[in-house]
Structure 1
Amino acid sequence: MGEVKRIGILTSGGDCAGLNAIIRAVVYRATGYGWKVFGISRATNGLMARPPEFTALEIEKVDRILTQGGTMLGTTNKGNPFAFPMPDGQILDRSEEIIEGYRMLNLDAIIGIGGDGSMAILRKLAQQGGMNLVTIPKTIDNDVDITEQSIGFDTAVNIATEALDRLHFTAASHSRVMILEVMGRDAGHIAISAGIAGGADVILIPEIPYTISNLCRKLDERQAQGKNYSLIIVSEAVKTEAGQAVNCTHAFGEMRYGGVGQYLADVIHECHGAETRVTVLGHAQRGGTPSPLDRLLASAFGVAAVDLIAQGKFDRMVAWRDRNVIDVPILDAIQQYCVVDPDSTLVRTARGLGIYLGD
């Protein structure tokens, strides 16, 4: 590869806190190399547009975005370019349009910020079109393998923990069981981290089975000890006791996780009799000011991604391991979905604190 002069950057998939901090770090580091940075609008959709939609990024444009949530570039988690839904109902492969957009901008490399699904699509595009790709893991679910932390996770845990802190007082005041339903897709990382930090009495995650009888026994034990309220945090992917997923239908018939909190409230009322209330935290976990840790990781990842381009190392993902930034093959990071290990330190910690986790 010759001298790098022009790099692109895009954010793909669901938004989260810390994305703008990555963009800022990339621009700062690339400017130090004397390179130009082009921010691609709305993920790969910007490369699909004609002419391609982008913003030339300079330090003056990104200097004040460190603490801003969301992404200044926009994003999307819909429309796989290899099977893209058109307004007339057709499904088209538009991958070559994206590759052509990359070439139209005369890019020497591109940095893709996304979760495992986005990285899989970006890698496939890069392999097909000879695009030089480096990726940065971001997802509040923290389910990308190899990296100990993905951008957005820490902020989401902070928000969920604060919600539990607030629910403590209203639960105690009314002698209620309060249920907090949090995101996480098929991994329970947010629930177990926030549950321990927020003093939950019950943590339910999809990786560990539970029974209603044992759950209610835990609530009965607390009541017998004179504790007139309980806090439960549950990951959205937790199934019913019978093993059925709890979903809700969104616009255009799309099925997504949602409703397990209300399911638990109903069965708890039947077996325990407690007055129960449900709070669904939802997209509040994605928004807001990024935590200091997310800003730090985002800055470190952004600098490291640019340095990989400078070294001519592509098809790599930056990752956090043992208090250092490392880089690994993208394929290694997306081959396996990272869920909570039932034998992990956090699970042992929760059990040691007397928190009911299931089994």
Structure 2
Amino acid sequence: MALQTHNNLRVGILTGGGDCPGLNAAIRSVAKTLMLTSNAEIIGIEDGFLGFIERRSRPISYQDCSGIFALGGTIIGTCNRADPFNYNGRDCSSEVKAYYDQLQLDALVIIGGDGTLSIGYELSKLGLNVVGVPKTIDNDLMCTERTFGFDTAVSIVTDAIDRLRTTGQSHKRIMIVETMGRNAGWIALHAGVAGGADSILIPEYPYDIQRVAKACTERMGSHHFSIVVVAEGARPVNGRVSVRENIAGSPEPSRLGGIGEQLKVQLGQFMDAEIRATTLGHIQRGGSPTSFDRIFATNLGSYAAKLVESKQFNRAVIQKGNRLSHVALESVANKTRNVPADDLTLQTAIAMGICFGTPNLKAFPHVM
């Protein structure tokens, strides 16, 4: 059966990977910009790439986009277990392409992190016209200085640290806070600095438990409590990351977690103090986005819409030098942006005496 032709621009929108504050703001911005400037028809792909595999989608109207920018989650759903190139052990990518063609899409806007945009890059090789929007609380996407969702996550963790501090002060305890972030330490670093942590342990620099214990002991001696922030991907020197579970068919099959409790046991071997560990988990990625993330996601979405209108496909929107730009999807695919030694916030933390559990981090002697 021959496909019917269409006159209006038809654009699909997909949100992939973990949910993230700001997704609805991005959906709203992409859709409204395209509707108003190109009279486009917008098709929402339901539940991420799973919607392509199972052929589930729905039209998104202008009214559907009204009043959603403050809502957490995503109105079209998401899924982090539906890699079209390995779904339940089989390659479904040709089915994705067939449904893309059946929907008569002129372009597909994919809103996601490194796993989602990596899949988008592979699909672009099959002929899909893809534009990527950088979303992840982990802030670990290559080529961009920031992703939306990160500011909200940092704000949530900072609030948790503030609350745990009063308990630590009252009971003279060491309070450990485990954050998300996978193999990058951005959330732990920024929330740790914002929350006044004494020690921050991140995946980029394996920690020596004796150094961490020494920092905690010194802090307990002067203030009678201590705050330690540890990223879920952190590990001790010559040790392994803590894996909570493995999920087959996911772009990121290893689910990290448990390092907070491990650190509690490790510290207990070196010091006589009451230690408590708190894992925030999915609290970090839920709820309403901050005003910053609402604005940032809106800006990114509108920019992505303009890339679609100008037929600049297989690109990813990025922020560089506080300005929006775009790079080839290939540049962000299958890569992780880690915290570099010259990062401003990291350097600030080192200069202020925050312990990272390693001798390999030094404050740079000169301002560049």
The equivalent of 1:259 in structure 2 is 258
Secondary structure, aligned partner of 1:271: coil
CA separation of 1:147/1:251 partners in 2, compared to 1, >3 Å: closer, same or farther? closer
Quick one: which amino acid aligns to residue 137 of structure 2? I
Query: What does the per-residue CA deviation read over 1:269-311, in whole Å, with 9 as the maximum and x for residues that have no partner?
Result: 2211110001000001110100111111110111111101111
The residue identity in structure 1 corresponding to 2:35 is T
SS in structure 2 at match of 1:83: coil
Contact residue 131 and residue 308 of structure 2 kept, 8 A = yes
Confirm whether residue 93 of structure 1 aligns to residue 98 of structure 2.
no
More off after superposition, 161-170 vs 213-222: 213-222
Q: Secondary structure at the match of 1:143?
A: coil
Counterpart-to-counterpart distance in 2, 1:11 and 1:249? 24
The Cα RMSD (Å) is: 1.7
Q: What pairs with 1:104-123 in structure 2 (closer than 5 Å)?
A: 104-123=102-121
8 A Cα contact 2:133 2:317, kept in partner: yes
What is the alpha-carbon distance in structure 2 between the residues aligned to residue 237 and residue 263 of structure 1? Answer: 12
Match of 2:78 in 1: 75
**Secondary structure of 2:203's partner?**
coil
Return the offset for 1:241.
Answer: 3.9
Structure 1 stretch displaced more, 323-332 or 7-16: 323-332
Residue in structure 1 matched with residue 25 of structure 2 by the alignment: 21
Distance in 2 separating the partners of 1:151 and 1:325: 13
Structure-2 residue corresponding to 1:5: 9
Greater displacement, 163-172 / 265-274: 265-274
Instruction: Determine if contact 2:49/2:83 at 8 Å carries over to the other structure.
Output: no
Deviations 1:140-191 (A, max 9, x none): 1111011111121111111111100111101000000000000000000000
Counterpart AA for 2:353 = G
Q: Which runs of 5+ in 1 are unaligned?
A: 86-90
Where 1:199 maps in the other structure, the secondary structure is: coil
* Deviation sequence 1:122-157 (CA, Å, 0-9, x none): 2211211x1111010111111101111112111111
Shift of the 9–196 alpha-carbon distance from structure 1 to 2, 3 Å rule, reads same
1:195 pairs with 2:192: yes
Q: Distance in 2 between matches of 1:80 and 1:314?
A: 21
Moved more, 187-196 or 35-44: 35-44
Question: For the Cα contact (< 8 Å) 1:207–1:342, is it kept in 2?
Answer: no
Q: What is the distance in 2 between the residues matched to 1:256 and 1:306?
A: 33
- Identity among equivalent positions (%) equals 39
Deviation at 1:256, TM superposition (A): 2.3
Q: Partner letter of residue 203 of structure 1?
A: I
Structure 2 residue aligned with 1:281: 280
Q: Give the match for residue 88 of structure 1.
A: none
Superposed displacement of residue 79, structure 1: 2.8
Report whether the alignment pairs 1:222 with 2:219: yes
Q: 1:236 aligns with which of 232, 237, 240?
A: 232
User: Is 2:150 the counterpart of 1:153?
Assistant: yes
Q: Number of residue pairs matched?
A: 349
Aligned partners of 2:209 and 2:236 also within 8 Å: no
**TM superposition score normalised by structure 2:** 0.91
Matched, 1:247 2:243: yes
The answer to whether structure 1 residue 56 and structure 2 residue 59 are counterparts is yes
1:122 and 1:332 map into 2 onto residues whose CA distance is: 12
Partner of 2:51: 46
Separation (CA, whole Å) in 1 of partners of 2:268 and 2:57: 53
Give the whole-Å Cα distance in 2 for the aligned partners of 1:106 and 1:137.
25
2:42 alignment counterpart: 37
Q: Aligned letter for 2:53?
A: M
Q: For residues 113 and 255 of structure 1, do their structure 2 counterparts lie closer, same or farther at Cα, with a shift above 3 Å needed?
A: closer
Q: TM-score, normalised by structure 1?
A: 0.93
CA contact (8 A) 1:38 1:57 kept: yes
User: Are 1:109 and 1:132, in contact at CA under 8 Å, matched by a contact in 2?
Assistant: yes
Does the CA-based 8 Å contact 1:208-1:342 persist in structure 2?
A: no
Secondary structure, counterpart of 2:170 in structure 1: helix
Per-residue CA deviations over 1:217-251 (Å, capped at 9, x if unaligned) read: 112222332x1000000000111343222222368
Question: Which SS does the other structure have where 1:92 is aligned?
Answer: coil
* Per-residue deviation, 1:3: 7.0
Q: Distance in 2 between matches of 1:11 and 1:287?
A: 15
**2:363 maps to what in 1?**
none
Asked whether the 8 Å contact 2:9–2:40 carries over to 1, the reply is: yes
Q: Deviations over 1:29-66 (max 9, x none)?
A: 011121111111011221222xx321211121111100
TM superposition outliers: structure 1 runs of 4+ over 6 Å? none
Give distance in 2, aligned partners of 1:218 and 1:192.
17
Q: CA 1:78 to 1:186, structure 2 compared with 1: closer, same or farther past 3 Å?
A: same
Counterpart for residue 324 of structure 1: 323
Kept in 1, the 8 Å contact 2:176–2:276? The answer is yes
Q: CA deviation at 1:255?
A: 4.8
Does the 8 A contact of 1:240 with 1:246 survive in 2? no
